DNA sequence: GTGGCACTACTGGTCCAACAAGTTGACAAG
DNA sequence: CTTGTCAACTTGTTGGACCAGTAGTGCCAC
């Protein structure tokens, strides 16, 4: 059944998105003071509590700095925003989504290669088995893009799990969220990689053989983005 | 003057920290339903809005799933939390902070090496100049740890800026926040690296010489953690 | 004139109370 | 067994009030 849940965006979510856009696009420059919560509430025609929830999230993302009594100020996201802001960045249009995607894939290549290396060194037997199984699950012939991305995510999740590095594990979550946010339509260039069943199985075998250098090298080749 | 600003934590911040701890430590298991907002408000002896602000942030971090009408449920942070959760993870005690630090440094090594490579390829002249200047700024003799970490951050910020990758840039923010959250007392093992003025200058020169392979290799050596 | 103080007009932080909107489970009608 | 209804929850949103902290303004003593 191809039905997807109907999106019912909360008010604070909408406010968060609007302000995020303003900041990432540069229309609200760094160091600039935001309108007061009361003014924002009136401008968006929502309650102040909704604005506050959005501002709290902006603060967590590293986009604004809040101080009681003083005004809320915009931060330079280059310096203060965390990796999670990349998801917002991908959809805000502040930076061309192709640029964001390229950067994302570049990071994925670097982290993925090292994760493959570590997986070959550290993975427990059952984790190796999962990697092999995930490689086996790649479809032989053409499949729809969403399905391919799902299979690919399962494979790399298995690899990263085997690498036993919390940073890589959580980074993978953020990265895949970012890639997902950009949307499937921009992922056409990755079809060859996703569909390369043989390469994934070769990589899985290198991991199973406990050959970290080969695993890293294969992963580098596989993830290299043109 | 060694005085630091007095921390005036907001109530919602405290609630957020408490719930984060409960979840990351596993005392609140995944899939488990949280108490209702009213119950939490009563338990913490705070207003419901404060609880809501905290829950919104937990949702953004990927630690809980909120649905109107239904109950708020705990998510498996391995699967859903973003890299930013690492900062909370470092301080929550859910995982030994030494493990978090090791993982963090491992990730830093991989990302840093690739950033150095890309910086050698892509950095603009003024960015190269900043890298050289940052390497020059390393203190010749022993210095206090906080100062060393600050100098080190400036150097790597320059390198990552030159690499022109938004993912690396924002990832560096998150990583350094995580390392900072763990605290300086655990960073003794890094003193040699931080103090290695020569190695940083050699690396900076490789970048200035546009020698990506050497830059990557040097960065790998420099960032290798024992 | 000038430094210092008090006051005022903001800001964000917290709380109470109410109602709207959605979910869930029980239960009766078909 | 299926379906619809209802009641008792839940989160979502709003309004208003007051507390707490900041920052600028202007007065006053020196």
The pLDDT tens digits for A4-63 are 767 778 899 999 999 999 999 999 999 999 999 999 999 999 999 999 999 999 999 999
Least confident segment among A10-19, A116-125, A145-154:
A145-154
Separation between Cα atoms, residue A27 and residue A35, nearest integer Å = 13
In this complex, the residue with its CA at the shortest distance from the C1' of nucleotide D12 is B68
Instruction: Answer yes or no: is B96 CB < 7 A from strand C.
Output: no
State whether the beta carbon of A42 lies below 7 angstroms from any atom of strand C. no
CB A8 within 7 Å, strand C: yes
Nearest CA in chain B to A81: B170
The residue-averaged pLDDT of A54-76 equals 95
Q: Cβ(A205)–Cβ(A133) under 8 Å?
A: no
Candidate from A69-78, A150-159, B135-144 with smallest mean pLDDT: B135-144
d(CA A168, CA B65): 23
pLDDT at B91: 80
Q: What's the mean pLDDT in A151-161? A: 95
- The DSSP bridge pattern shows strands A64-65 and A73-74 to be antiparallel
Q: What is the DSSP string of B122-133?
A: H--HHHHHHHHH
Name the residue closest to D24, CA to C1': A70
pLDDT score of A226: 60
- 8 A C-beta contact, residue A18 and residue A29: no
CA angle B191, B158, B140 (to 5 degrees): 40
Please give the C-alpha separations between residue A124 and each of A3, A67, A134, B84, in angstroms, as whole numbers: 38, 48, 15, 27
* Amino acid B68 CA to nucleotide C28 C1' distance, rounded Å: 28
Does residue A60 sit at the B interface (CB-CB below 8 Å)?
yes
**Window 73-112 of chain A: CB closer than 7 A to strand C:** none
- Residues in B 5-34 whose C-beta is less than 7 A from nucleic strand C are 10-12
Q: Which pLDDT value is given to residue B188?
A: 75
Q: Looking at residue A1, what is its pLDDT? A: 47
Which nucleotide has its C1' atom closest to residue B47's CA?
C15
pLDDT under 50: residue ranges of chain B: 1-2
Residues of chain A positioned with their CB less than 8 A from the CB of B86:
166-167, 170
For residue B224, the model assigns a pLDDT of 87
Contact A167 B83 (CB under 8 A): yes
- Whether A111 and B106 lie within 8 Å, measured CB to CB: no
Quick one: which residue's CA is nearest to C22's C1'? B69
B 64-123 near A (Cβ less than 8 A): 68, 77-86, 89, 95, 99-100, 103-104, 106-107, 110-111, 113-114, 118
Question: Which residues in chain B are closer than 8 Å to A173, comparing Cβ atoms?
Answer: 62, 79-83
* B50, B67, B79, B83: best to mutate for the A interface, most A CBs within 10 A: B83
At A176-204, the pLDDT tens digits run 998 888 877 777 777 777 778 899 999 99
% of chain A beyond a pLDDT of 90: 70
Q: Is the CB of B79 under 7 A from strand C?
A: no
Return the closest-CA partner of residue B36 out of B9, B75, B67, B60.
B67
Chain A nearest-CA distance from B137, in A, is: 20
Strand D positions within 7 A of protein Cβ atoms: 9-17, 20-23
pLDDT at A156 (0 to 100): 96
Alpha-carbon separation of residue A83 from A104, A219, B172 (angstroms): 10, 23, 8
8 Å CB contact of A61 and B60: yes
Which residues does B80 contact at the CB level (< 8 Å), separation at least 6?
A: A173, B62, B63
Residue B133 is predicted with a pLDDT of: 95
Of B31 and A91, the structure prediction assigns the larger pLDDT to B31
**Burial class for A38, CB neighbours closer than 10 Å (0-12, 13-18, 19+):** exposed
pLDDT computed for residue B226 by the predictor:
59
């Amino acid at each position: 059944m191809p039905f997807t849940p109907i999106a019912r965006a909360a008010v604070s979510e909408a406010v968060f998105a609007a302000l995020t856009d303003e900041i990432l696009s540069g229309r609200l420059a760094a160091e600039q003071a935001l309108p007061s919560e009361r003014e924002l509430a009136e401008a968006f025609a929502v309650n102040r509590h909704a604005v506050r929830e959005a501002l709290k999230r902006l603060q967590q993302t590293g986009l604004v700095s809040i101080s009681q009594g003083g005004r809320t100020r915009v931060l330079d996201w280059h310096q203060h925003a965390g990796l999670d802001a990349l998801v917002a960045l991908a959809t805000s249009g502040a930076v061309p989504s192709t640029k964001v995607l390229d950067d994302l894939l570049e990071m994925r290549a670097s982290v993925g290669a090292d994760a493959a290396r570590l997986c070959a060194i550290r993975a427990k037997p059952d984790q190796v088995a999962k990697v092999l199984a995930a490689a086996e699950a790649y479809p032989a012939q053409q499949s729809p893009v969403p399905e391919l991305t799902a299979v690919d995510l399962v494979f790399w999740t298995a690899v990263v799990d085997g690498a036993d590095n919390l940073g890589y594990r959580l980074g993978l979550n953020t990265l895949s969220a970012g890639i997902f946010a950009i949307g499937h339509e921009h992922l056409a260039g990755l079809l060859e990689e996703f569909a390369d069943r043989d390469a994934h199985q070769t990589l899985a075998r290198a991991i199973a053989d406990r050959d970290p250098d080969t695993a890293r090298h294969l992963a580098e080749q596989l993830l290299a983005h043109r």
